[in-house]
Amino acid sequence: MTGIDTVIDTVVERAAAAGTKWRATPAAERATILEGVADALLKHLDELWPVADAETHLGEVRLRGEVGRTASQFRLFAEVLRDGGSAEAVIDHADPGATPPRPDVRRMNHPVGVVAVFAASNFPFAFSVAGGDTVSALAAGCAVVVKAHEGHPETSDLTASVVRQALPDPDLLGLVHGFDAGGPLVRHPLVSAVGFTGSLAGGTAIKGLIDQRPDPIPFYGELGSVNPVIVLPSADAAAVAAGFAASLTLGVGQFCTNPGLIFVPEGPDGDRSGFEGAIGDAVAATTGGRMLTAKIHDGYLRAVDRLSGRAGVARLATGAAGTAADAVTPQVFSVSLEAFADGLPELGEECFGPTAIVVKYRNLSDLPAVLRRLPGSLTATVHAAAQVGGQGAGQVGVQGADQVGGQGAGPEEAADIVPVLERLAGRLIWNGWPTGVAVTWAMHHGGPWPASTAPAHTSVGAAAIRRWLTPVAYQDWPEAFLPPELRDDNPLGVPQRVDGHLRT
């Protein structure tokens, strides 16, 4: 056994031991502890953000806000635990008169075990040691071992120290460092599930390690996403351009929800004075900055070089460089829909950073076939002048649409696109921008491969807890041995589905 193997073995075994008591802790008590973690993060805010800024260059405003978001995640999962619905308690009473006779069967969710979490580079708090994977796993009753990201090791150490002060057992949150730690952590027999936010290459490597285990375990990875934006002819060009440039360059483009493709109507005879021109002008007015790590910086430059050398792809605009010597410049490229389709799948790959491709179409009817060929994404966005008719309406309308290639952009064209987007992405946005993911009960942050490895699950929002829970059914079990959530008197007051009827 190597030195790193010994370290991993010790950390995981301690986490597993701490997790045994943690999983038996009542949900209400776990909720109070999670709120204590939120308080601790905010109490140490003035210590946390400067360390993160020194390692990531993200700035005080961004990092203060991210610590606040991280604390809010802990408070949300405290609410989830008090609600009790994540237990998914189901009771089917015995029915001797059924054919065949039916036994008494009761089912609820239990913690899956020790969860390994790979911290992300671009969110040193919200997707790292104290991020959404960690808090949702702790809420589920699991112990967590985090592999720190090499881009912010000191931030990781400090954050872990703050969180541990609020936990009943510091071993509930293990922390390991180094590239070589990933393999032994994933392979450890006491690790029951893995959460990951990062590159497609990194996620594929982890999946390969899991497949080599004698007992493959669930892998919940968020890998890569181009987040297409479809602009209908009725949209306002100036508003779209301004919003797009702001979203593209937010955080120097280092968001998993960065809009990497934007489909716009082509002007008459290729005239660039419309959407294409407005977007070019808006991006040209932006300023870049330093990226998170040298590795990310170099990867961005290689991706830009690949786009620059593609046939049919033209550089539309370049922003200004930041003041730092290693700052990058925002860039946007332009291509026809036909040339873009010919360049797939390569032109549909994510470029992590402030670069995107403007894809020009002449007929809306040509879009669905091309959109179906895109890789899965976290988000897909539609921009139009019209609003969705009524709250939660199922129809999409475009009022007063312009003509594109002799074809009107009416409701029927938007309706043809929406079903394609529903199969392409996990979150659909109307007249907004994908950067920024609300931490709510309804949020879904996932999508078809390669956006995530498990599109039925989310890494953000209340439903993220489901990844770390596994159901157990009890057949004809003695009342005294049943978990409180499955007893007929329901002492905890959790929602129960009894003989097919939901009781809250």
Domains and CATH numbers, the chain: 3-94+103-223+452-498 (3.40.605.10), 229-430 (3.40.309.10)
CA distance 205 to 193: 15
Judge whether 281 and 376 are in contact, CB under 8 Å. no
Structure tokens at 30: 């776990």
CA 212 to chain centre: 26
Q: Going residue by residue through the chain, which has 504 residues, state the pLDDT in tens, using 9 for 90 and above.
A: 678 999 999 999 999 999 999 999 999 999 999 999 999 999 999 999 999 999 999 999 999 999 999 999 999 999 999 999 999 999 999 999 999 999 999 999 999 999 999 999 999 999 999 999 999 999 999 999 999 999 999 999 999 999 999 999 999 999 999 999 999 999 999 999 999 999 999 999 999 999 999 999 999 999 999 999 999 998 999 999 999 999 999 999 999 999 999 999 997 655 556 999 999 999 999 999 999 999 999 999 999 999 998 889 999 999 999 888 889 999 999 999 999 999 999 999 999 999 999 999 999 999 999 999 999 999 999 999 855 443 333 333 333 333 343 334 444 567 889 999 999 999 999 999 999 899 999 999 999 999 999 999 999 999 999 999 999 999 999 999 999 999 999 999 999 999 999 998
d(C-alpha 495, C-alpha 45), whole Å: 36
Are the CB atoms for 424 and 371 separated by under 8 Å? yes
pLDDT of residue 393: 33
Query: What pLDDT score does 205 carry?
Result: 95
- Which pLDDT score is estimated for 252? 93
Give which of 419, 413, 418, 422 is closest to 447, Cα–Cα.
422
Q: What pLDDT sits at residue 429?
A: 95
At 504 the pLDDT is: 83
CA distance 216 to 8: 19
Catalytic residue, chosen from 55, 66, 222, 413, is: 222
Q: Could you tell me which of 77, 52, 73, 74 has the C-alpha nearest to residue 62?
A: 52
Question: Pick the catalytic residue: 66, 256, 276, 413?
Answer: 256
Return the half-sphere exposure (C-beta side, CA atoms, 13 A cut-off) of residue 236. Answer: 8
Among residues 154, 131, 149, 157, which one has the least CA distance to residue 37?
131
* Residue 154 annotated in active site: no
What is the pLDDT at residue 485?
97
Contact 194, 210 (CB under 8 A): yes
Cβ-in-10-Å burial (0-12, 13-18, 19+) of 17 comes to middle
H or E element that contains 174: strand 173-176
Report whether 13 contacts 113 (CB < 8 A). Answer: no
Classify 171 as helix, strand or coil. helix
* 222 tagged catalytic: yes
